[in-house]
Structures are given as C-alpha cells and as structure tokens.
Amino acid sequence: MNLSIDKVCARISMLQHSQKIELLDKGFSLDKKYLITSNDYKYILRISDINDYEKKRAEFSILKDLQQYQVFSHRAIEIGVIVDLGVCYTVYSYLDGVDGIEALPNLTEKEQYKLGLKAGKELFKMNLYPAPPSINSWHERAMKKHYRYLESYKNCGIKIKNDEKIIEFIERNKHFLINRPNRFQHDDFHLGNIIVKNNDYAGVIDFNNYDWGDPYHDFVKVALITRGISIPFSIGQLNGYFDDSIPDDFWMLYSIYAAMVVFSTVVWSIKFSPQQSDAMVKRLYAMLEDHQYFAISRPTWYSNLMPK
C-alpha cells in the first residue's frame, strides 16, 4: 500500500488539524498504522485496502459492542472509505503506556503475576460476548482449519521432531471440542498487545485477528509466546481468568490447542515471517517439552502458588 498519509488525513475531518504523524511498524499486519497527535487529541489511525472494508466494519462494530462488557481497550471512534485512494480507514483512541514485553523486565515476579491476574480477568470479560447465531460449531470450524494447516505442514519443508505423536494426540482427543461454546476470541492475546501504564494493566489492543469459538483457545498464546517471556504473568493470567479455580476440562483443551498450534505456526511462519522461522520453531520445542510431547496435559511450568 503506497500512499501519502498527509492526503489521507486531509480527507478525514477529525484529523485535518494533526500536528504530528508517526508510523507504527510493530506487528505483522498488512495495514498501515499511525499515531496521530495534536494539542487536542491523540489517535491511532489504521489504513487498510478498500476491499477489507466489510471485515474492518465488523471489527469496528465488535469493539463497540465490547464496551458493554467494560473491557479495557482502545475505543472505536470512526470508520470510513476513501474511494479514489482505494483505502478504508479506522480511527481509534490512543491507549497510553507501553506494551507488556517492554514493561515486564522492570517488574518483580510478584508484580508480573498481579499484572497477569488483571489480564486474565479482562480476557474473561471479553470471552463472555456470544457469537452470532450464524456461526457454525466450533468443533467443525476448528478441525477443518487444523486439517488444512496439517496438510500444508506436510508439504512445507520443515519437520517437527516426533510430529506423529502430536498428530495422534489430537486425533485421539478431538472429541473434547464437541459442544464447546461459541464466544468472542481476541485470538492474539499476548504481552505484545497488552498495554501497561504505571506498572498496571491499561488495556488490550489489536482486535484484527478476532474469531469466534471456544474461549479457552485464547490461551494458546500463553503456551506459545507468553510463558517464554514471563511464567509469573502466565500463571497470573490463568488464575485471574478462573478466579483461582481451574476447571477439570481446561488442561485437556489447552493441550489440544497447543498441539494444533504446532502445525499452524510452522505454516504461518514460512508464509508471513520466514526470517523468524527458527525462533518460532524454538518456541514450539519449548512448548512441546512443557507437555512432554503431550504425555501430560498440564504444562510443567504451571503452579497455583503466587510468587513471593
């Protein structure tokens, strides 16, 4: 997407008096993201291809709906299209602070745990939002996606050690996905999308990967990413979500989703971030060791004890 950001801002009335425009280049989205500031406001402007407008409008509407659940996040302010420039745009409020990856090294383990507690409680609130009735069952959609990724994995050129054990584990336990609830999934809930201010949870951003399905699937980024950054935060997120009482069925479902993410991560990395494929594979092996290649469902790093 090659266009002048000044031309875009000039066409959006609420941004016409912007004094500073800063490109935000974190993440893997094809959208262009900017921090727009003036004396009176500070906004996030997200610019997308005009063909993505319906998807962006749905995301905008969902973020509005989530406000009734009192979710801490940026707010959806304005959405529109600029036909002659071939783009659509969304304006969000700016969530002040730094992302969790930057914030956590300055926190004690106990502070990281408490931050995780708040994150878990916030994720629980988001996961209360029910899917539209038109959405097919989670089991049907999840397994269809899994088999599609598995087929791509088999032809991608990267092989995970003992992958047959992982495949067999999923097949043996896939029935656990039957009759799981269909609710809102942030689907990218990890420290890179969590904003921290004054060592406290300020909110979550980047809803563009949202989905509908089993709320427990939102913990897959704990298995893949967050536990490698902060185990205290990861434990806190779990304990906060479940109010210190994790149900019996959770760990089995958590481990099934962790097993599925092995194949989707390999395929995704090759397609979108080949330069980071080695790092991603290293994360996968750490996760597999956490579960002893799914001989156990609860990962070895989890403890229900708060750090001292």
pLDDT value, residue 1: 55
Q: Start-end ranges of CATH 3.90.1200.10 in the chain?
A: 98-290
What pLDDT does 222 receive?
98
Within 8 A by CB and 6+ apart from 89, the residues are 8, 12, 45, 46, 47, 48, 79, 80, 81, 82
In CATH, what number does 5-93 get? 3.30.200.20
CATH 1.10.10.10 fits 98-290, yes or no: no
Flag whether the pTM goes above 0.85: yes
**Residue intervals in the chain for CATH 3.30.200.20:** 5-93
Q: What is the pLDDT of residue 55?
A: 94
Residues 6+ apart with CB under 8 A from 15: 9, 36, 43, 45, 91
What pLDDT, on the 0 to 100 scale, is given for residue 181? 97
The pLDDT score that the predictor gives to residue 69 is 96
Q: What average pLDDT values come out for the chain (308 residues) when binned by 10 residues?
A: 80 89 82 91 94 96 95 96 95 96 96 98 98 97 98 94 97 98 97 96 95 98 96 97 94 98 95 88 96 96 80
